[in-house]
Chains A and B, each alone.
Chain A
Amino acid sequence: MRYELRFSGVGGQGNMLAGMILAEAAIYFENKHASYVPTYTSQVRGGPTKADIIISDNKILYLEANSIDYFMAIHPRTYDMYKSDSKPGSIIVVDMHMVQVPDEDKKKFKVYELPIVETARNKVGNVITANIVSLGITARLTNIISPESLFKAIERRVPPKFLDLNEKAFEIGMSLVK
Chain B
Amino acid sequence: MKRAVVANGNEMVVEGAIDAGCRFFAGYPITPSSEVAEGMARKLPKLGGVFLQMEDEIASIACAIGGSLGGEKTMTASSGPGISLKQEGVGLACIAEIPLVIINAMRGGPSTGLPTRIAQSDIMQARWGTHGDHPAVAVCPGSVAECYTETVRAFNIAEELRTPVYVLSDAFLAHLSTKVELPGKEELKIANRLRPTVKSEEYYPYDTRFGDVPPLADYFSGYRFHVTGLNHDKTGFPNIDPVLQESEEERLINKVLKRQETIGTYENYKLEDAQIVVVAYGSNASGAKEAVDAARESGIKVGLFRPITIWPFPSIPFQKVAASAKQIIVTEVNLGQIVYEIERIMLGGRAVTEIKNGNLIFDTRHPRSSAELSTVLQANGTPIRPNQILSQIKEVA
Interface residues of A (CB under 8 A from B): 20, 23-24, 27-28, 33-42, 60-64, 66
Pair A64/B179 contact, Cβ less than 8 Å: no
- Which residues does chain A contribute within 8 Å of B385, judged by CB atoms? 62, 64, 66
7 closest A-B pairs by beta carbon, nearest first, are: A35-B178, A36-B177, A62-B290, A62-B287, A64-B383, A62-B286, A61-B290
C-alpha spacing A58/B215, complex, angstroms:
48
Pair B175/A64 contact, Cβ less than 8 Å: no
Pair B6/A61 contact, Cβ less than 8 Å: no
Q: Which of A28, A37, A41 touches B6 (beta carbons < 8 Å)?
A: A28
- Which residues does chain A contribute within 8 Å of B178, judged by CB atoms? 23, 27, 33-36, 60, 63
C-alpha spacing A34/B4, complex, angstroms:
13
Q: A27-B6, A42-B116 are in contact. Are A61 and B289 (CB under 8 A)?
A: yes
Q: Is B31 part of the contact surface with A, judged by Cβ < 8 Å?
A: yes
- Which residues does chain B contribute within 8 Å of A23, judged by CB atoms? 6, 177-178
Q: Which residues of B, 340-394, contact A by the 8 Å Cβ criterion? A: 382-383, 385-387
C-alpha spacing A18/B188, complex, angstroms:
36
The distance from the CB of B271 to the nearest CB of chain A, in whole angstroms, is 17
Complex: chain A residue closest to B284, CB-CB: A62
Some 28 contacts from A to B, beta carbons below 8 A apart, are A20-B177, A24-B6, A27-B6, A27-B179, A28-B6, A33-B179, A34-B178, A34-B179, A36-B176, A37-B172, A37-B177, A39-B116, A39-B117, A42-B31, A60-B178, A61-B286, A61-B289, A61-B290, A61-B293, A62-B286, A62-B385, A62-B386, A63-B172, A63-B176, A63-B286, A64-B172, A64-B382, A64-B383
Pair B177/A41 contact, Cβ less than 8 Å: no
16 more A-B contacts (CB under 8 A) besides A61-B286, A62-B290, A66-B387? A27-B6, A27-B179, A34-B179, A35-B177, A36-B176, A36-B177, A36-B178, A39-B117, A40-B116, A42-B31, A42-B115, A61-B293, A62-B286, A63-B178, A64-B287, A64-B383
The distance from the CB of A34 to the nearest CB of chain B, in whole angstroms, is 7
Complex: chain A residue closest to B283, CB-CB: A63
Complex: chain B residue closest to A20, CB-CB: B177
- Which residues does chain B contribute within 8 Å of A24, judged by CB atoms? 6
C-alpha spacing A61/B178, complex, angstroms:
11
Complex: chain A residue closest to B287, CB-CB: A62
Complex: chain A residue closest to B288, CB-CB: A62
Interface residues of B (CB under 8 A from A): 6, 31, 115-117, 172, 175-179, 286-287, 289-290, 293, 382-383, 385-387
Pair B115/A37 contact, Cβ less than 8 Å: no
C-alpha spacing A38/B9, complex, angstroms:
13
Pair A62/B31 contact, Cβ less than 8 Å: no
- Which residues does chain B contribute within 8 Å of A35, judged by CB atoms? 176-178
Determine which residue in A23, A34, A62, A64 has the highest number of CB atoms from chain B within 10 A of its CB, and name it: A62
Determine which residue in B6, B115, B177, B386 has the highest number of CB atoms from chain A within 10 A of its CB, and name it: B177
The distance from the CB of B67 to the nearest CB of chain A, in whole angstroms, is 31
- Which residues does chain A contribute within 8 Å of B176, judged by CB atoms? 35-37, 63
C-alpha spacing A24/B178, complex, angstroms:
9
- Which residues does chain B contribute within 8 Å of A39, judged by CB atoms? 116-117
C-alpha spacing A66/B386, complex, angstroms:
10
Pair A62/B289 contact, Cβ less than 8 Å: yes
Pair A41/B116 contact, Cβ less than 8 Å: yes
- Which residues does chain A contribute within 8 Å of B175, judged by CB atoms? 37-38
- Which residues does chain A contribute within 8 Å of B115, judged by CB atoms? 42
Complex: chain A residue closest to B179, CB-CB: A27
Complex: chain B residue closest to A43, CB-CB: B116
Complex: chain B residue closest to A66, CB-CB: B385
Complex: chain A residue closest to B176, CB-CB: A37
C-alpha spacing A107/B115, complex, angstroms:
37
Complex: chain A residue closest to B289, CB-CB: A61
Complex: chain B residue closest to A23, CB-CB: B177
The distance from the CB of B164 to the nearest CB of chain A, in whole angstroms, is 29
Complex: chain A residue closest to B387, CB-CB: A66
C-alpha spacing A13/B337, complex, angstroms:
38
- Which residues does chain B contribute within 8 Å of A64, judged by CB atoms? 172, 287, 382-383, 385
Determine which residue in B6, B31, B178, B386 has the highest number of CB atoms from chain A within 10 A of its CB, and name it: B178
